[in-house]
Amino acid sequence: MQIVPGLFMLVLSLGMLAVAIQGAYRGWLPNGPNGFKQGEGVSRQGNPIGFWLVFCLYVGSGIYGAFYALRLLSGHAAA
């Protein structure tokens, strides 16, 4: 049972899901080399295909990370 890595992974993956949900409401998702700075990202109006691609990437990685963290916390996955 890996408590610290599991909780850390759970926080990161829930944060990724929060960014995706916030981006769905705002119509803008951060990406690029500067991370979460306001200057770089994709907007729903400017690049709709890129926006939904990045949105699916954020949601998919957030869900996968959350399930992996729950498996770590329950002892069914190795760190």
Q: Which domain holds residue 57?
A: 3-74
* pLDDT score of 38: 66
Its pTM stands at 0.86
pLDDT at 75 over 70: yes
Q: Is residue 79 part of a domain?
A: no
pLDDT at 6 over 90: yes
Q: Is residue 37 part of a domain?
A: yes
Q: Is residue 28 part of a domain?
A: yes
Domain count, the chain: 1
Q: Per-residue pLDDT tens for 23-70?
A: 999 999 988 777 666 668 899 999 999 999 999 999 999 999 999 999
Give the list of residues 6+ apart from residue 30 with CB closer than 8 angstroms, or none. Answer: 19, 23, 36, 37, 38, 40, 41
Residue identified by tokens 């709709």 is 48
Pick 37 or 8 by higher pLDDT. 8
